A and B are shown apart, each in its own frame.
Chain A
């Protein structure tokens, strides 16, 4: 079982850039998120699909009530969850892609990224380009994850990244264009 406060400690290490903490944290949190996210993909109709935000919220609640997480660490938590959610979605795309050649179930993405045909093949491409973005500009990658994978509003994304809405809007305009360009030029 998770020791109370362990996640909190690890989150702080993670945000300070400690790679060992990252691995450990992923091991701790990812299975829980994955389990909750299972419901996300059980819906056969797109309109019945759960939103990623609800999944992360459930996890957040669980961790808070288990006292594994403290409120003060919410920013780190959401950043981490956004990253993990991206991984959940990509893992799902990979398994769907293997099972169904006809495209499988679409991935729930924010409407602003709807130009990506959110089916497994493109999802895996998007993930590869995001890896590239991570190398170029980790902060922008965080922003994309929070806004487009978790569905936070621009204001909330700005708050989580300690920035202003205007700045987030401005950077996201660029990054959307850049993603599109990269996805369609390779």
Chain B
């Protein structure tokens, strides 16, 4: 057409001009630009034509469906169309079985998806498919060919919605989504154990019924259509969820399903599939190029956050870190880099849900560094930050290390060591990769001398690692290292190093119940800390280790309190990192609290909290402060108000040190105390019983938590389980033999519970001596915080005495 050839560019210009001009002005504006009236009209015609949309559905499709719906396929009567997927169309069907109508789902496969031996193969595979008997897997019932020769499969019918639709409709949060996902993992793991891979896992193959049951569809389909399909695995799988090796048409393994589960997890958490904006061609290219998946948090959108009842920034924050690592580990392009099994994947998700470290190994040393820092906060963080000395303001020992590592050369050597350490920790250097923090630190101590030759630097680094072990609760290992650095520092005339090692070793000895050793070590440290040149940090540490642990033995002296006041004040005035300042103030506050000087303690707790808030890695420490604040409000008689504060402390501890940690157990015990006081012993029992197994395990460690059995026996008494209460009192007496002063309040309180447990069983005669002991001790040692106990002890004693009189015993 001559018109277009000559005026091609002009025609386009007119078109685009018309596009941006409001409709009524178009003709006028175009006429100004071009005198050729016909050309202007043509541009406007093209513009109108460009708005023409395609029809929604072509009539051809409708007629095909309509004709099928009236018919039968084999012995099955079609009821309605359920859906259409990549390789087939699914119908709801029914047939008579033993006089009853049975409903099932029938899937007609695309003709090119299976060859003539399809039915033979079904019969051959049937025993395997029939053996897939799992509550979360739909069963394959039958197979056949339609009159037109198309293969079809019949499956158990499930009335449910797709996994993603289910989660979004209910605005499920991350935890609930992970729990549903774990059930999917269970089902797939079960199939893998039976040597069946799925190969087309995706949200639309996972249904959730109204009662929340997960059902996986299409297990076994891949097995049936694989062998003589005209298609390769590339086309059969749904590209968005297919593993790269499937897209590359390479041999398939169970690892394909792990990849698909990763894609499902990714979408379930972030709301979009990995590489969701790519076309199929681009996805295949990614597969061939072995490109890494995008980061989980980068896929988050505002809409997705809303469907999870979270803000966008909160969702992004939640999807950074462990969850991102878990998803990434499933989605690695090479099968060998993924989780070796679904159980390993489930295990990591369970560890995440339980607040424990996941085992998936992030890819880079720096990433791993960051992860350790986040996970281990405080002191450990400081050690690691030695490696990146520029960020020293963050943590505890970093401040001191800065002094030790003034020269860039030394800092570099240290940095080199840390990098090597992360590499070693990831390798099989010691037979297996270091999976836990203690293993990691142990490895560090072992390999340090190979990297750091200067004895002073070596000592400083060793002390740092030992401090990390101490904070991490690995007291025995820390003790070994401190004993060594103590001797080395002394031989080298390094007073600072010797003092610090001794102070820590003393703290540890106290904590391990080696009281005499603790006393002598801390006395040495305190004396040495007064020598010239010892840094404020070490002076503070020495004072705390001396005074706080002496007071922990319930021998309160004015000297100890004065030392703790001195430590707090020195910490405030010196240029210590926030974490260490707050810690010194916290120790003073707890000491005041146990001396019942509650009014002075409380503002100090708030001061500590304020200083902690300057440091991002102090969840554990903050949880400790909240625990104390809750306890204070509890003993003030505000048990109701104390519950949410206890809860905050407990949640914090669970997140930072784990549900099984000593701290979490202690807070559970105290919180139960508040519940018992409020007459809610029924709620306290499961809380205490839940912590009991972890408590038993902790018993062997030399760090007992006597509060837990104490409160448990009390809770049992309150709910009328007297026999169990009695059993605990007996066990406690046996296991605590010689550990407590027979006149201590602990012994008094226990005898009180014991008396009540026996009286509850009408064994008043046996109860009497326990009630007498309780009343005597608790009255003699009365402190304001414990007054409820004293009154109770008297009440119980009087009651038992009157019962004995009544029964004439």
| B440: interface (CB < 8 Å) | no
A53–B230 CA distance with the chains assembled, in angstroms: 16
In-complex Cβ contact of A177 among B50, B84, B110 (8 A): B50
B48 touches A46 (CB 8 A): no
Closest beta carbon of chain B to A159's beta carbon, Å: 9
Closest beta carbon of chain B to A161's beta carbon, Å: 14
Q: A48-B89, A174-B50, A181-B42 are in contact. Are A39 and B281 (CB under 8 A)?
A: no
Q: A136-B8, A177-B15 are in contact. Are A150 and B50 (CB under 8 A)?
A: no
B61 touches A46 (CB 8 A): yes
In-complex Cβ contact of A111 among B42, B54, B281 (8 A): B54
Chain B residues whose CB sits within 8 angstroms of the CB of A46 once the complex forms = 58, 60-61, 64
Q: How large is the interface on B (under 10, 10 to 19, 20 to 34, 35 or more residues)?
A: 35 or more
A155 touches B248 (CB 8 A): no
Closest beta carbon of chain A to B204's beta carbon, Å: 15
User: Which residue of chain A lies nearest to B61 when distances are taken between CB atoms in the complex?
Assistant: A46
A50–B284 CA distance with the chains assembled, in angstroms: 16
A119–B282 CA distance with the chains assembled, in angstroms: 29
0/1 string, A39-81, CB within 8 A of B gives 1: 1001111111011011011101100110000010010001000
Q: A115-B53, A115-B55, A170-B16 are in contact. Are A152 and B235 (CB under 8 A)?
A: no
User: Which residue of chain B lies nearest to A184 when distances are taken between CB atoms in the complex?
Assistant: B49
B5 touches A56 (CB 8 A): no
A101–B529 CA distance with the chains assembled, in angstroms: 103
Q: A39-B230, A44-B111, A53-B279 are in contact. Are A181 and B55 (CB under 8 A)?
A: no
A74–B55 CA distance with the chains assembled, in angstroms: 33
Chain A residues whose CB sits within 8 angstroms of the CB of B42 once the complex forms = 181
| B52: interface (CB < 8 Å) | yes
0/1 string, A73-97, CB within 8 A of B gives 1: 0100010000000000000000000
> Which of A48, A50, A56, A184 has the most chain B CB atoms inside 10 A of its CB?
A48
| A132: interface (CB < 8 Å) | yes
A115 touches B110 (CB 8 A): no
A47–B83 CA distance with the chains assembled, in angstroms: 10
0/1 string, A143-186, CB within 8 A of B gives 1: 00000001111011000000000000010011011101100100
A65–B8 CA distance with the chains assembled, in angstroms: 43
A174 touches B280 (CB 8 A): no
Chain B residues whose CB sits within 8 angstroms of the CB of A137 once the complex forms = 8
A42 touches B111 (CB 8 A): yes
| B232: interface (CB < 8 Å) | yes
| A20: interface (CB < 8 Å) | no
A173 touches B50 (CB 8 A): yes
Chain A residues whose CB sits within 8 angstroms of the CB of B404 once the complex forms = none
A155–B58 CA distance with the chains assembled, in angstroms: 28
A45–B148 CA distance with the chains assembled, in angstroms: 12
| A112: interface (CB < 8 Å) | yes
| B551: interface (CB < 8 Å) | no
Chain A, 18-51, CB within 8 A of any chain B CB: 39, 42-48, 50-51
| A124: interface (CB < 8 Å) | no
A43 touches B284 (CB 8 A): no
Chain B, 245-297, CB within 8 A of any chain A CB: 248-249, 277-282, 284-285, 288-289
A43 touches B111 (CB 8 A): yes
Chain B residues whose CB sits within 8 angstroms of the CB of A45 once the complex forms = 61, 64, 89, 110
A43 touches B110 (CB 8 A): yes
Closest beta carbon of chain A to B11's beta carbon, Å: 8
Chain A residues whose CB sits within 8 angstroms of the CB of B89 once the complex forms = 45, 47-48
Closest beta carbon of chain A to B597's beta carbon, Å: 68
Closest beta carbon of chain B to A96's beta carbon, Å: 13
Chain A residues whose CB sits within 8 angstroms of the CB of B52 once the complex forms = 115, 176, 180
A115 touches B8 (CB 8 A): no
| A1: interface (CB < 8 Å) | no
Chain B residues whose CB sits within 8 angstroms of the CB of A65 once the complex forms = 249
A181 touches B46 (CB 8 A): yes
B281 touches A174 (CB 8 A): no
In-complex Cβ contact of B248 among A39, A61, A106, A184 (8 A): A61
User: Which residue of chain A lies nearest to B45 when distances are taken between CB atoms in the complex?
Assistant: A181
| B438: interface (CB < 8 Å) | no
| A126: interface (CB < 8 Å) | no
Closest beta carbon of chain A to B38's beta carbon, Å: 13
A151 touches B279 (CB 8 A): yes
Q: A115-B55, A174-B12 are in contact. Are A43 and B112 (CB under 8 A)?
A: yes
Q: A174-B50, A177-B47 are in contact. Are A156 and B279 (CB under 8 A)?
A: yes
Chain A residues whose CB sits within 8 angstroms of the CB of B84 once the complex forms = 47
A45–B109 CA distance with the chains assembled, in angstroms: 11
Chain A residues whose CB sits within 8 angstroms of the CB of B53 once the complex forms = 114-115
| A121: interface (CB < 8 Å) | no
Closest beta carbon of chain B to A67's beta carbon, Å: 13
A42–B114 CA distance with the chains assembled, in angstroms: 12
| A9: interface (CB < 8 Å) | no
A115 touches B46 (CB 8 A): no
A114 touches B54 (CB 8 A): yes
Closest beta carbon of chain A to B240's beta carbon, Å: 13
Give the 5 A-B residue pairs with the shortest CB-CB distance, closest first. A114-B54, A177-B50, A180-B49, A177-B46, A48-B110
A-B contact pairs, 9 of them (CB 8 A): A42-B230, A47-B84, A48-B87, A57-B234, A74-B285, A115-B54, A151-B281, A153-B278, A153-B282
Residues of B within 8 A of A (CB): 1, 4-5, 8, 12, 15-16, 19, 42, 45-55, 58, 60-61, 64, 84, 87-89, 110-112, 148, 230-232, 234-235, 248-249, 277-282, 284-285, 288-289
Q: A74-B285, A177-B45, A180-B50 are in contact. List 4 more A-B contacts (CB 8 A).
A: A54-B280, A136-B4, A136-B8, A174-B50
Residues of A within 8 A of B (CB): 39, 42-48, 50-51, 53-54, 56-58, 60-61, 64-65, 71, 74, 78, 106, 111-115, 132, 135-137, 150-153, 155-156, 170, 173-174, 176-178, 180-181, 184
